[in-house]
Structure 1
Amino acid sequence: MSEIDNLQKADGKEENKLPIKNDDTTENTSSDNNAQSTEETPEIVKKEASSPTAEAEKEKPSNEKDEETKTSKDEDVINEIEESNAEDAEDEGNKERHTIAVKEYDKMSLESLAIELEKLVKNEKIQAIKSHVNDINNEFKTKFQALLDEKKTEFLNDGGNEIDFYYSSPIQKRFKTAYKAYRNKLNEHYKSIEKNLKQNLADKLEIIEELKGLLNVEENINTTYKHFKELQERWRNTGPIPRDKYNNAWNSYHHHAERFYDFLHLNRDLRDLDFKHNLDKKLKIIERAEELAQDDNVMRSFRELQELHKMWKEELGPVAREHREEIWDRFKAATKIINDKRQDYYKEIDKVYEKNLENKLEIIAKIEAIGAQEGKSHSSWQKKIKEVEALRNDFFNAGKVPIKVNESTWAKFKDSVRAFNKKKNAFYKGLKKEQYENLQKKLELIKIAEDNKDSEDTEVTTALMKKIQSDWKKIGHVPRKDSDRIWKQFKAACNYYFDKLHAKRNAASQEQVDAFNKKQELLNTLKALSLTGDKDKDLATIKTQINAWKNIGRVPNDKRYIEGKFNKTLDNLFSNLKMEKNEIEMIKYENKLDHLNSGDNNTRNLDNERSFIKKKIDEVKSQINQLENNLQFFTNVDDDNPLVKEVHNNIKAHKQTLKLLKTKLSKVKAMY
């Protein structure tokens, strides 16, 4: 069997391997480099040859060139496809992105967007998800900014200062983690690509050098031809090269391949066989392109058309001169039909985007109109807030708008919502100020109730309690978050007093009545007591009276006010003695503790007293710390400065009070 027969069989097998794609995935419209048809007559030119199309231009008469000027739009279509294929040559994995469904990211929640990003990064090839990640990232940023604005408004409504606002979301952290993983994987992918691209370029330049050497080889033409076919196969199987080297490398390869065909004219059978093989395959490509021109799935047709152009250019060589213009015009005509349909498709999408824009502008106008209305009550503003919230949701669900107005539309929307929130905040700040003032008034009533709930002077205290209950009803609303809490606190203090009052009235015994009468007599005696002027004797006399008072026992609960009168009488007596204030205070306090320790509730009384003393100790310590901190602000000031002296005196007084309180606390603990 001859070499020619073997070549014919090999070519016949290749006829059945024409890869025609048919998928339903999204479109790749990227473009970078310009590549041309391979149909033209081979000519020997310089190493960096111009494109075959340009070579064909030289051979055409002037009238044909004029005709091509009229069809420049057709050539623009071809250029767009060729540029897109040149870009994909640098990273063939990009084509795989078309197999990943594009979801309605604008209708997803923040959590759903984060989950979708995680799935893409984990399950898909990183080079295939770029457009998906960009869309998801844009949607997430838009929606999170809206959430941030909302949280900020709530913060300001609650009385916060704008400079102190901070908001962090677990969903945001989750999204950032996934996006960082995507960026890291993408960087690793590009590093790997760069390494492979350089090696592939070196391999292709080596093929070109071998191709150039075929012209000087002295061997059987069939053997040389077979070597040429092997170089073609190696060229096709070598991976992508850097994008900026793509055209030069391909043009150089094409130039030397055509030189080989010129050289091959010595054996026209081999060249004609190759021309026939290329013509058959290009006719199949044309037939498929004409089928795609009738397909209603426009984007799928255009994607497959890109692949057909790539095969036409990179996998097939020239055909006989008499067929070149005819098949190229036919292929170009089918290409134009498909591209025209694609342009119409985009026009329809543009119409949808324009309609979405109209809807969004109407929504913005409605928000602005609501913001312009006056609201004078809480209920009216609540109604407005619900209306604006519904319009915000409508805005987010209205779909995409033309990209050229996307940012300006979003800015107008934010401005309209911000203007509404500003008026709303102004109203609620005024309302909040009033409610805060009401809160302070009610807290003052609570303090009065709690301070007097244990009072034994029932005649005075009962009237006071009734009055503050009446005042409470006259005070207006307080902030909702405080309403229930302060009402329960006020009610508990009032109930405590009146329950105790009723219990005391019902539980008073004759013994307690007698004790009250005895204490009343002793109090009268004490008031008439004359002191000698001798400190020690007078102190002993007062202590004797105090012990006598203790020994009398308890009085009815509604008569316990006599204890206050007794203490006031003691104050008058002690004032005539030259004693330390703290010493006098402790004598009186011991009497108070004895009173607290008597009766059925002595343990609870002592617990309450201990808690009270501890609280006062903490307060005094805090005041001392504050005063000492204040001293640090007096730099380069003498100690005799009046302000500094005042602070030092205050610290000294508070420390004396602290010492007294600690002594009292030790006395309370000793009672257990």
Structure 2
Amino acid sequence: MSENDNLQNADGKKEVESTETTPTQETAQQADTPKAESTQSDVETEAPTETPAEHTNTQENNEEPPTAQQKTDDHVEEIDASNAEDAEDESNSERHELEDKDYHAMSMDELTAEFSKLLKHHKIQTISKHVNEIKGEFNAKFNELLEEKKEEFIDDGGNEIDFYFTNDTKKLFNSLYKEYKQAISAYYKEREQNLKQNLENRLEIIEEIKGLLNVEENMGTTYKTFKELQERWRNAGPIPRDKYNNAWNTYHHHVERFYDFLHLNNDLRDMDFKHNYEQKLKIIERAEELAQDENTNRSFRELQVLHKLWKEELGPVGKEHREEIWERFSNATKAIHDKRQAYFADMEKAHEKNLERKEEIITQIEAIAADKANSHNAWQKKIKEIEALREAFFKAGKVPLKVNESTWAKFKNAVRTFNRGKNSFYKELKKDQYDNLKKKKELIQIAEDNKDSDDFATVTPLMKKIQNDWKKIGHVPRRDSDKIWKQFKAACNHYFDRMHEERKAENQHLYDAFDKKVKLLEALKDLKLTEDNKADIETLKSKIAEWKEVGHVPQNKRYIDGKFYKAIDDAFDKLKMDKSKLEMVKFESKLENLADPEDTRLLDNEYNFIKKRIDEIKSDINQLENNLQFFSNVKSDNPLVKEVHKNIANHKKELDTWKSKLTKVRGMYSE
């Protein structure tokens, strides 16, 4: 057995000095760089030349019984490993609380905002992973934008060597990243100095405790000095984690030696033992309460604190209690550990199901990415599908830690593959848009070259053609769309406004006629009938004659004729006379408007319409008469039969009216 194998801590538990780093510590060291370097290679440890009397073994063969520390199980080692992670930097645990976010889905502005939040609300040493992800995504997106701007610059006639582009978002991001680099550099520099200084301070405290054994003075004064050194040790701050175990082992060793030395004054020692015993009982009671807590994570975190208090804040207890209280504390720790392990086992099963769901989602994303679309609408549909799958991925919950990073990487790769396909499509689409832009600019040039031409017969068909051509050309880049449309529209409007003004001057008499008809229409609306049908019919006919006498109006104003004859029909409808006679009076007034010796198209249309209507009514009459055959055995006073006869009579009466109209139209041709 080596000299150091006899070292025991203040509770009688063996602590074997080791310069090796536990896997947990090694991982923690790799996570935070640069690592502080000690000014000494190892912490000096002096073993006693003989076992202190209170630790002497009384068993046969002079072999020591297994101590509580030697019997330590996984549940205690897990606590020690967790506390060792915080030995160098008490803020390490915070980095596990930062929320993982889908930075790949964020825009450059959103990434910049997230970066700013990290700098403002979190310790600089806890955000490096997130900063690196944000930086990678931001640079990828900015490089894509840079390529687009470069293509636009070259397409507009620029020389590639002269291209330069930045924007406010990029400037702000660069500023934040510079701030981060300066802050993290300052933090590590300061931390390295603090860790070195704290280690030196702790080594000095150990040396001063060693020196107390050789001081020849009042024991009460020596004890007071010892308690002051213990308080300084508690407040000495974090040290390099690779020196943590050695420093604490050495410190406990020399604390024990001092208590061995102190046995000369039992009152002071026993008072300390009593205080430590009472405090450790409180720790045990709290640990036993935590063993009943259903929140396993919360109870484990507090248990870590209790173990730190046990180890770092409190000294030894009387030898007769050491094994007993450690066993009790260890059992409470094991209960919490076992409950936590069961919780993690259940969580692992849930995580496995989450993993299956996430892998299904990734497969779906990969399938969508592999299916190449060739239209904007198709890609928009695929984008919505991907967004829904992304949301489902994040709602699916956590997966086993061992596959967390690989699953996340697989998801990002699937989404990135989709985005590459999407970006490739829209990149080609942009090329087409630039081709369209070139074509539309050519049409603008034609419009502007001809907008002041007086050759209306030649240029008007040309202007109409380029307007149609414009509609057939596809989309252009959005930033140019409004600008070129306004330019094209202005040139076309300039030409057609000139043409219309010219034609208006040539056809001023038509516009004068329109103004007169507007006044006649207003007068007709205000016309009061006398209830003398004959007189009112003559009045309305005179209004029609007056309207017709005014003559034609411009082509685009002919809608006023329809309004006038609608008003005439409304006036006729107010007359109290037989419906069929009224219908003929209205029709005769209508024929007055249709009569035009030079253009019979309107009259022709009316003639064809009347003939068609007559045929329809005859067909209806035949159908009704055929229906009567089904009622041959039914009495004539049957309501259904009477209704059919009534309909036939109405149709025949209507037929007579239409035949009269046809006669009137034929008479118009012979005039």
With the length of structure 2 as denominator, give the TM-score of the two structures.
0.54
The 5-angstrom pairing of residues 74-153 of structure 1 reads 74-86=72-84, 88-91=86-89, 93-94=90-91, 102=97, 104=99, 106=101, 118=116, 121=119, 126=123, 130-131=125-126, 133-134=127-128, 136-137=130-131, 140-141=134-135, 144=138
Alpha-carbon distance between aligned partners in 1 of 2:434 and 2:225, rounded to the nearest angstrom: 94
Structure 2 partner of 1:412: 410
Structure 2 partner of 1:479: 476
Alpha-carbon distance between aligned partners in 2 of 1:41 and 1:380, rounded to the nearest angstrom: 71
Quote how far apart the aligned CAs of 1:180 are. Answer: 4.4
Residues 212-258 of structure 1: per-residue CA shift (max 9 Å, x gap): 34444445555554554454444445444444444334333333333
Structure 1 partner of 2:12: 40
Q: In the alignment, does 2:295 pair up with 1:297?
A: yes
The 5-angstrom pairing of residues 357-396 of structure 1 reads 357-373=355-371, 375-395=373-393
Task: Determine if contact 1:78/1:332 at 8 Å carries over to the other structure.
Answer: yes
The 5-angstrom pairing of residues 16-95 of structure 1 reads 37-40=9-12, 47-49=45-47, 74-86=72-84, 88-91=86-89, 93-94=90-91
Alpha-carbon distance between aligned partners in 2 of 1:144 and 1:103, rounded to the nearest angstrom: 19
Alpha-carbon distance between aligned partners in 2 of 1:306 and 1:141, rounded to the nearest angstrom: 35
- Per the alignment, in what secondary structure is the counterpart of residue 290 of structure 1? helix
Give the letter aligned to residue 38 of structure 1.
Answer: A
Structure 2 partner of 1:277: 275
Quote how far apart the aligned CAs of 1:327 are. Answer: 1.7
Alpha-carbon distance between aligned partners in 1 of 2:13 and 2:413, rounded to the nearest angstrom: 64
Change (3 A) 1:491 1:145: closer
Give the letter aligned to residue 260 of structure 1.
Answer: F
Structure 2 partner of 1:339: 337
Task: Determine if contact 2:281/2:325 at 8 Å carries over to the other structure.
Answer: yes
The 5-angstrom pairing of residues 646-661 of structure 1 reads none
Structure 1 partner of 2:253: 255
Quote how far apart the aligned CAs of 1:338 are. Answer: 2.0
Quote how far apart the aligned CAs of 1:333 are. Answer: 1.4
Alpha-carbon distance between aligned partners in 1 of 2:113 and 2:348, rounded to the nearest angstrom: 30
Task: Determine if contact 2:436/2:473 at 8 Å carries over to the other structure.
Answer: yes
Task: Determine if contact 2:59/2:65 at 8 Å carries over to the other structure.
Answer: no
Task: Determine if contact 2:440/2:473 at 8 Å carries over to the other structure.
Answer: no
Quote how far apart the aligned CAs of 1:395 are. Answer: 4.2
Alpha-carbon distance between aligned partners in 1 of 2:70 and 2:241, rounded to the nearest angstrom: 28
Quote how far apart the aligned CAs of 1:318 are. Answer: 2.7
Quote how far apart the aligned CAs of 1:380 are. Answer: 2.9
Change (3 A) 1:313 1:169: farther
Change (3 A) 1:460 1:175: closer
Task: Determine if contact 1:454/1:497 at 8 Å carries over to the other structure.
Answer: yes
- Per the alignment, in what secondary structure is the counterpart of residue 106 of structure 1? coil
Alpha-carbon distance between aligned partners in 2 of 1:399 and 1:450, rounded to the nearest angstrom: 62
Task: Determine if contact 1:85/1:310 at 8 Å carries over to the other structure.
Answer: yes
Change (3 A) 1:65 1:169: farther
- Per the alignment, in what secondary structure is the counterpart of residue 208 of structure 1? helix
Residues 625-668 of structure 1: per-residue CA shift (max 9 Å, x gap): xxxxxxxxxxxxxxxxxxxxxxxxxxxxxxxxxxxxxxxxxxxx
Change (3 A) 1:172 1:302: farther
Quote how far apart the aligned CAs of 1:450 are. Answer: 3.3
Change (3 A) 1:494 1:145: closer
Give the letter aligned to residue 313 of structure 1.
Answer: K
Structure 1 partner of 2:520: none
Change (3 A) 1:168 1:106: farther
Count of residue pairs the alignment pairs up: 461
Change (3 A) 1:71 1:442: same
Structure 2 partner of 1:327: 325
- Per the alignment, in what secondary structure is the counterpart of residue 73 of structure 2? helix
Change (3 A) 1:217 1:283: same
1:312 to 310, 313, 317: 310
Change (3 A) 1:265 1:347: same
- Per the alignment, in what secondary structure is the counterpart of residue 101 of structure 2? helix
Alpha-carbon distance between aligned partners in 1 of 2:196 and 2:323, rounded to the nearest angstrom: 36
Alpha-carbon distance between aligned partners in 2 of 1:168 and 1:75, rounded to the nearest angstrom: 60
Quote how far apart the aligned CAs of 1:292 are. Answer: 1.8
Task: Determine if contact 1:278/1:317 at 8 Å carries over to the other structure.
Answer: yes
Quote how far apart the aligned CAs of 1:489 are. Answer: 4.5
- Per the alignment, in what secondary structure is the counterpart of residue 40 of structure 1? coil
Structure 2 partner of 1:577: none
Structure 1: segments with no counterpart, 5+ residues:
1-34, 509-672
Alpha-carbon distance between aligned partners in 1 of 2:314 and 2:321, rounded to the nearest angstrom: 15
Change (3 A) 1:402 1:177: farther
% of aligned pairs identical? 58
Residues 469-518 of structure 1: per-residue CA shift (max 9 Å, x gap): 56666x4534364666555555544454454445456769xxxxxxxxxx
Task: Determine if contact 2:9/2:253 at 8 Å carries over to the other structure.
Answer: no
Residues 46-90 of structure 1: per-residue CA shift (max 9 Å, x gap): 95349x9xx98999899x999899997x53443343344455454
Change (3 A) 1:204 1:166: same
Give the letter aligned to residue 81 of structure 1.
Answer: I
Task: Determine if contact 1:435/1:476 at 8 Å carries over to the other structure.
Answer: no
Quote how far apart the aligned CAs of 1:174 are. Answer: 4.3
- Per the alignment, in what secondary structure is the counterpart of residue 318 of structure 1? coil
Structure 2: segments with no counterpart, 5+ residues:
1-6, 18-43, 507-671
Quote how far apart the aligned CAs of 1:426 are. Answer: 5.8
Task: Determine if contact 2:13/2:70 at 8 Å carries over to the other structure.
Answer: no
Task: Determine if contact 2:149/2:165 at 8 Å carries over to the other structure.
Answer: no
Residues 497-548 of structure 1: per-residue CA shift (max 9 Å, x gap): 454445456769xxxxxxxxxxxxxxxxxxxxxxxxxxxxxxxxxxxxxxxx
Task: Determine if contact 1:48/1:251 at 8 Å carries over to the other structure.
Answer: no
The 5-angstrom pairing of residues 221-620 of structure 1 reads 221=219, 224-268=222-266, 270-347=268-345, 350-351=348-349, 353-373=351-371, 375-395=373-393, 401-402=399-400, 404-424=402-422, 440-462=438-460, 464-465=462-463, 468=466, 475-479=472-476, 481=478, 489-501=487-499, 503-504=501-502
Alpha-carbon distance between aligned partners in 1 of 2:394 and 2:140, rounded to the nearest angstrom: 10
Structure 1 partner of 2:37: none
With the length of structure 1 as denominator, give the TM-score of the two structures.
0.54
Alpha-carbon distance between aligned partners in 2 of 1:265 and 1:374, rounded to the nearest angstrom: 85
Quote how far apart the aligned CAs of 1:337 are. Answer: 1.9
Alpha-carbon distance between aligned partners in 1 of 2:152 and 2:269, rounded to the nearest angstrom: 86
Alpha-carbon distance between aligned partners in 1 of 2:404 and 2:147, rounded to the nearest angstrom: 24
- Per the alignment, in what secondary structure is the counterpart of residue 409 of structure 1? helix
Task: Determine if contact 2:9/2:249 at 8 Å carries over to the other structure.
Answer: no
Change (3 A) 1:371 1:58: farther
Task: Determine if contact 1:211/1:231 at 8 Å carries over to the other structure.
Answer: yes
Kindly report the root-mean-square deviation, in angstroms, between the aligned alpha carbons of the 2 structures: 5.2
Residues 375-429 of structure 1: per-residue CA shift (max 9 Å, x gap): 4544333322332344345445655555544444344334434444455556556
Change (3 A) 1:349 1:504: same
Task: Determine if contact 1:48/1:248 at 8 Å carries over to the other structure.
Answer: no
Alpha-carbon distance between aligned partners in 2 of 1:325 and 1:337, rounded to the nearest angstrom: 18
